[in-house]
Amino acid sequence: MFKIKQIFFSDFPFDVNGCDVLAFSGCKNKVRLNGFTCTPQATSIIDLTQDLMEIWKNMSKSSCRYAINKAERDGVKIRINQKYREFNQINKSFRHAKELWSIPKKLMDAFEKSGVLFVAEHGKQILAGQIYLTDGHTIRLQIASRRLEAHANKTLIGNANKLMIWEAIKYAKTLGMKEFDMSGILTGKDKDDPRMTITRFKLSFGGEIRTYFSYRKVYSKSYNLLQKTKRVIKVKKMI
């Protein structure tokens, strides 16, 4: 019903004609622009201009380097830009189980066309996958999904996810990129927040914490009305 435009790797937001909703992800600069809402977002950045061995040493030995070495010993293989169909199936199941918003097909098609897909394979089974976006300077982790079946080997899958990030770091350095963006962490100290597990996972790679900004502007009055109606219905259901 609505034309939603998402822009990545812009230093700051700007108006775009012909869309109902405009969103900017991960802008480096904080600015005030009429009609835009601004949301700060902490992230972890790995400096890829360092020597690869220095990046390796900065990673947690117990929770990161050991896991990567163990995944390699267990025979986990990393494939690049392969198995998109299998990854999409895992991603849909993962997001449904975690009650995350489903990614529109058009956006997933755009990720497939412009992004880089890493999948971890063990035997003939895909354990997990990660999609990265890049502008040639920065590579950013955008989507990560893994198998959630009760019989799945959680330790193997966790190690495979870390191996994928390590391979993505090496991939980015080979192409001369300068920064590796983990794409969002929590900075609070609420240990009970389940998202802290993901934050600790990302910080184990030894990056520097920075604050970027997301911007959003709604041009369509109909879209605003629809969102307000949804919120009212949700509240009534809760009551």
Cβ(52)–Cβ(35) below 8 Å: no
For position 192, which CATH number holds? Answer: 3.40.630.30
Indicate if 88 and 17 belong to the same structural domain: no
Structure tokens, 74: 């267990």
pTM, two decimals, is 0.89
Indicate if 62 and 131 belong to the same structural domain: yes
Indicate if 111 and 132 belong to the same structural domain: yes
Q: Residue 107's pLDDT band (boundaries 50, 70, 90)?
A: confident
* More confident of the two residues 58 and 110: 58
Domain hosting residue 12, numbered range: 4-42+214-238
Angle between helices 154-174 and 66-73 (to 10 degrees): 100
Indicate if 112 and 130 belong to the same structural domain: yes
Indicate if 221 and 164 belong to the same structural domain: no
> pLDDT of 195-212, one tens digit each?
788 899 999 999 999 999
Structure tokens, 218: 């709604």
Q: How many residues does the chain have?
A: 239
Average pLDDT over residues 77-103: 89
Number of domains in the chain: 2
Indicate if 18 and 120 belong to the same structural domain: no
**Res. 213: pLDDT tops 90:** yes
Distance between CA 34 and CA 167 in Å, rounded?
A: 41
**Res. 194: pLDDT tops 90:** no
**Res. 30: pLDDT tops 80:** yes
Indicate if 189 and 147 belong to the same structural domain: yes
Indicate if 30 and 109 belong to the same structural domain: no
How many C-beta neighbours within 10 Å does residue 27 have?
Answer: 20
